[in-house]
Structure 1
Amino acid sequence: MMRVAARSVSEVEDIVTSPQLRVLVLIATHGPQTLGNVATELGVHASNATRTCEKLVRAGLIHRTEDPTDRRFVRVALTSTGAQLVERVIGHRRSALAEVLAEMDPDERSVAVASFRAFARAAGDLPDADGRFTLILPGTAGV
């Protein structure tokens, strides 16, 4: 798993750092975020989250807006370029996982798929409603 994840990240390491990619994926999966939410997700001080997001703004991957319900807060959202970068990484990861799973015996693959689902539930990840982050394999309902 680590090798599959590392390969998908290495595809964009000349564009973003791992923490920056985490911010982009956070926004892609949960929608626009406050800087406080970004700091919490990264486990860093708010000033570090602000610097990370500023680099992403300068790179054209996210943009800042005032929170419509409370102007004291700034929200960050993906630009189309940022969304494309996330889709590229997720697409690469999806393809790499599908290749590995396709090499498995069908019974082993079923166990692996069930394990991935259990892992996602335990981690608090819910199925993605629009399928962007779902891995579809022949004979499965998706992971």
Structure 2
Amino acid sequence: MAVPGWRFPTEVITMAQEALQLLVSMHRIVRHLRRNRTTTAMHPTQFLALMLIADEQPIRIGEIASRVPCSQPTATTTVAGLEEAGLVRREPDPVDGRATAVVLTDAGAETVEASGRQAADELAKLLSRLDDADRKLVLEAGAVLARVTDDL
């Protein structure tokens, strides 16, 4: 139940507005990268899963589902598509041989490297529009955002 006359403090409203602007800006950057094919022609969920597999391999499908994030069936379908494309393979989990882990193939590693290089080149073009101080600020913010998203 709302309390008459109560309002969010100005700093909370300002932070929410700034967070929304950050979200919009990040979305525009991702859209720009997709439009320029820097994340390959694969579905975004496949791309995120492939990058996660590259970082965390060997990794179980359940962990992929929780970290992408997506549902378990979506993770299974995503891995199946990547496997069909020859980018990943399943093998017995080294910790629990009853379970299956997913690892990159050589083609998957090449795709990750090429996509990363293309995305980095395209981001460098965007950042080159900024002066040195703003570019440094954006790169520092990127490191902070990486820490924030590590546990997502």
Tell me the SS of whatever aligns to 1:94. helix
Retained in 2: the 8 A contact 1:35–1:49? yes
C-alpha displacement of 1:64: 0.5
Task: Find 2:139's aligned residue among 106, 113, 130.
Answer: 113
Select the structure of larger CA radius of gyration. 2
TM-score normalised by structure 2 residue count: 0.71
| Structure 1: unaligned runs, 5 residues or longer | 126-143
1:64 pairs with one of 65, 90, 115: 90
Structure 2 counterparts to residues 1-143 of structure 1, below 5 A:
1-7=29-35, 9=37, 12-13=40-41, 16-124=42-150
Moved over 3 A (4+): 7-11, 42-45
Q: Percent identity?
A: 30
Structure 1 123/8 Cα, relative in aligned 2: closer, same or farther at 3 Å?
farther
Using the TM superposition, give the Cα deviation of residue 11 of structure 1 relative to its aligned residue in structure 2, in angstroms. Answer: 5.5
**Alignment deviations for residues 42-98 of structure 1 (CA, whole Å, 9 cap, x no partner):** 333323322221121111110010112212210000001111111111111101111
TM-score by structure 1 length?
0.75
Considering fraction of residues, name the structure with more helix: 2
* Cα distance, 1:103–1:47 mapped onto 2, change above 3 Å: closer
**Per-residue deviation, residues 13-49 of structure 1 (Å, max 9, x unmatched):** 1xx2211111100011222210111121233332332
Distance 2:97 2:140 in 1: 44
CA distance in 2: counterparts of 1:47 and 1:36, whole angstroms:
9
**Aligned-residue RMSD, C-alpha:** 2.0
